[in-house]
A = this chain, B = another copy of it.
Amino acid sequence: MVADGHADGTVGKALDVLDMVARHGRPVRFSDLLAQSAYPKATLYRLLQTLTHQGMLTLDPDQGTYALGVRLVRLAHAAWAQSSLAPIARPYLDELAAKTGETIHLAQLDQGQVLYVDKRNAAKPVEMFAQAGKVGPAYCTGVGKAMLAWLSPEALEAALARQSFYRHTANTLVSPEQLKAELQEIRARGHAFDREEHEVGIICCAVPILSRAGRVMGALSVTSTTARHSLESLGALAPTIRDIAARIAAEAESWRFPEQA
């Protein structure tokens, strides 16, 4: 990605390199990275060295390939436990999954994208990391729209600017205008639907998780297939979902306060 307007300082560059390695998904050779990066050989080399030395990357000496380091896994543990709603929401997700018997998603907004932080898979037991951590588009998913709908005007603009508006299906909303109209409806209704906008046959009903102050903390959704549910029957679940979302919000907030004096 060439996006990042301002890669502030060395730290920004280093993190950029980290992302680059992460994006590859498997061990990368120096020259592969060099080909993609905008940085000159020596710079990239030093950056990689620093990151490796710091344990954020590991260098396989045999193949000369870089991969993400274990230090990240450690940080991950902390990040997931503290920054996201996931640990708090866990029992509530279980409850919602039990009640509905459908797939549950818990997501947060990250740079205009939907980041799934937890999931319940109707049939199968938890599969945490393998599924959580994934990112998806905001403009054409239930959780995405639910979060966008309650964003402040400025935040919304920033987020909209990052949407691709790629037409995944016939129902995908492909312009900011269409989307804004839909967001207004969502706000009025209190919950968002995914009308097969991302994948044909997949529908969902999503509600935002809002702080008392009205800040968007995340979103919660129940997903199903057109074979098993209609939008109406999913909509009937909305009160239940909203209730769970409210309880998650309440707990998340009470959790932030008890700082040590």
Q: Are A129 and B128 in contact, CB atoms less than 8 angstroms apart?
A: yes
Residue ID in chain B nearest A50 by CB atoms: B11
* Chain B hits for A29, CB < 8 A: 259
Q: Are A84 and B73 in contact, CB atoms less than 8 angstroms apart?
A: yes
* Chain B hits for A54, CB < 8 A: 8, 11-12, 15
Q: Are B256 and A50 in contact, CB atoms less than 8 angstroms apart?
A: no
Closest Cβ of chain B: how far from A141's Cβ, in Å? Answer: 16
Identical chains bound together, number: 2
Residue ID in chain B nearest A218 by CB atoms: B70
Q: Are B74 and A75 in contact, CB atoms less than 8 angstroms apart?
A: no
Closest Cβ of chain B: how far from A134's Cβ, in Å? Answer: 7
CA A209 to CA B125, docked complex, whole Å: 28
Residue ID in chain B nearest A57 by CB atoms: B83
Answer yes or no: A115 CB below 8 A from chain B CBs: yes
Answer yes or no: A80 CB below 8 A from chain B CBs: yes
* Chain B hits for A68, CB < 8 A: 75, 78-79, 82-83
Q: Which of A19, A71, A73, A135: most chain B Cβ within 10 A?
A: A73
Interfacial residues, chain A to chain B (CB-CB below 8 A): 8-12, 14-15, 18-19, 22-23, 25-27, 29, 47, 50-51, 53-56, 58, 60-63, 65, 67-84, 86-87, 108-111, 115, 117, 125-130, 132-135, 211, 213, 215, 255-256, 259
